[in-house]
Structure 1
């Protein structure tokens, strides 16, 4: 079987083909795909046969109640999704520019930079380009990097969670992330000069989900102290939920210092006195490898790096004020 060439592919492949592949991969149902694309089911079946004939392999397994992607089909569906997201971004940028705007920049960030570094960079960029629309999404490193890979974001401020990320993305380190243990101000441990480490695991904890760097650091801290990991836990990435729980229940959480500094200063939360430091690896600016960021992304990256460097030069931590 001859290999598929780019010229051959570009001569017949259409965006409608990509939409069909992406939709069918999501719905895994011919009827649902036809409804979403507003065409008949026979038309979907005919178009799929044509695509598979041109590619030279099956994209989907025909099962009695569903159509699941084959191994090759999963790869094709992934690239179809990336191409469609890229096209949507292009259309959005063009329409925004036609209406007099300066484009659209989509940024993903973990929580620590959102307290100081991220807002400062946004203000700096918006001061120069007030008509530039900026969208900011908070989340875990894993979820944000998945969106970056699929071109749903222009850049991410996070840290790698998988080895393959080093092949997919460029990383520019920004700052470490100091962590602390906190409770509500009414917690029995609040204000204790000598923290009874052996009792920590007995309290209810609010933790990040399994697989996140924050969760891994917490588990490592307990292992290094020779203690069992807490079993009475609530898992969430929501800062608002975490803060509310800490203030209304006798719970403990490990969070970035920057995230809790305002509540500690206001007396709503109390930092526990730890005999050992808690620091995560540096977070940084992450962009897609072998793809030059657009002008807006480059301007934002420069503003972000300038702010962090200025804080470091002044002797102020980059992310905890």
Structure 2
């Protein structure tokens, strides 16, 4: 795949202008470039991408399929760069700069992203293969263009300012758009090629996501899927910056930010879980207050399950017990419960195999108030590739079959 450092935003805009206007001469006039310069810019991008982007005729130019695909991504990437630059200027109460996306370079954005990720110019230099003076110069030029400081030294590290954080988000979104375009071009050469990055929270990891991944891999053997685990806040931040394509897990009501879209797929009913042989398993119809007699392990404050767990007790007129351990890792929680009489809340899917093996058991239902919507979260302006659409469709199908009962609990996998 072509590296971002080889690309020139000005050249990419020349491609977009030629596609939009259908004429090299009109595009050169709009870009304030000579026809030979614009022709050379388009030819260089075609060489870098390895695709012919235009059918050239005396009457003008017409985009090829490759040209249509990459032009759409270029226009979206340039729009993100423009939004980022103008947002920085607006936040600093500075007047907007016309065509700011023509003044910012990929080298400048790449330098800013690298220093943000590395925390220092020295480490950023090693990671991306540019000299420290070049990184300093690119960052300084970008600061001078935008009229605001972007990086500040804090102790031994270099950190982005709050203003830079805004620009970084749009810069990463621009990169994400171009990477999607590269994937679409690769798919023209090799059908089904491309990448999907999925963020996932505990519930989806147990059965549904593995099933979807297996089905998808069988149909698209040339595709690459990267599964990222983590807490919701971290995954959401990466989604909003274009580092992930979609997020699977418990939905938030209301959504924490305005620039995401949530699609519910099914309702999950958590249950109270304990080890096999737990004292409460031998007390059918036990009083709810008995749950206070045993230690609980639940995710930390802020997680939806924590709030619902607290509500479960208050609805019965009881104070929630003090938590000696807060943990959102299903693996750690499973291991802890096998050591003693701990209790927790889980989806039935999350401890299916432990229940089969006689290790964990369902103590009781948790009540309707703990129901939660499980679904997909994406950016509200996300434009998926065909491959990403195929993956989301596969996951929707798996969820629909699971909730309809077509995927039997005793045989959730092909070889289980």
- What TM-score comes out, normalization by structure 1 length? 0.83
Q: Does 1:210 align with 2:294?
A: no
Q: Which has the higher contact order (CA 8 A, sep 6+)?
A: 1
Residue 159, structure 1, aligned to residue 250, structure 2: yes
1:308 deviation in Å?
Answer: 3.1
Instruction: Tell me the residue number matched to 1:8.
Output: 100
On the 8 A contact 1:201/1:228 being kept in 2, the answer is no
Once the two structures are superposed, what CA deviation does each residue of 1:2-31 show, in whole Å capped at 9, x if it has no partner? 3023x332x332222112212333455444
Per the alignment, in what secondary structure is the counterpart of residue 282 of structure 2?
coil
- Tell me how far apart the structure 2 counterparts of residues 114 and 293 of structure 1 sit (CA, whole Å): 22
SS in 2 for 1:292: coil
Q: Output the aligned Cα RMSD.
A: 3.3
| C-alpha distance in 1 between matches for 2:256 and 2:362 | 34
Greater helix content: 2
Equivalent in 129, 146, 149 of residue 55 of structure 1 = 146
Secondary structure at the counterpart of residue 395 of structure 2: helix
Q: How does 1:1-321 map to 2 (within 5 A)?
A: 1-5=94-98, 7-9=99-101, 11-61=102-152, 67-86=158-177, 102-161=193-252, 163=254, 165=256, 167-274=258-365, 276-277=367-368, 279-314=370-405
Aligned equivalents of 2:340, 2:386: Cα separation in 1:
47
Asked if the contact 1:193–1:273 (Cα under 8 Å) also holds between the matched residues in 2, the reply is no
| Count of aligned pairs | 318
The answer for unaligned runs of 5 or more in structure 2 is 1-93
Cα shift at 1:179: 0.5
Q: Structure 1 CA distance, aligned partners of 2:252 and 2:348? A: 21
**Using the alignment, how far apart are the partners of 1:64 and 1:242 within structure 2?**
38
Alpha-carbon deviations, 1:58-102, whole Å to 9, x = none? 213456755443332221123234434555666677679868862
User: Over alpha carbons, which structure has the higher Rg?
Assistant: 2
- Structure 1 contact 184–190 (Cα < 8 Å) conserved: no
Give, in angstroms, the shift of residue 32 of structure 1.
4.3
- List alignment gaps of at least 5 residues for structure 1: none
Give the structure-2-normalised TM-score: 0.66
Determine the C-alpha separation between the residues in 2 that align with 1:293 and 1:100.
16
Worse-superposed segment, 55-64 or 44-53: 55-64
| Range with bigger deviation, 272-281 or 54-63 | 272-281
Kept in 2: contact 1:97–1:103 (CA 8 A) = no
Cα shift at 1:51: 0.9
State the alpha-carbon separation in 1 of the partners of residues 155 and 171 from structure 2. 25
Q: Tell me if the contact between 2:172 and 2:243 (Cα under 8 Å) persists in the aligned partners.
A: no
What SS does the corresponding residue of 1:189 show, helix, strand or coil? helix
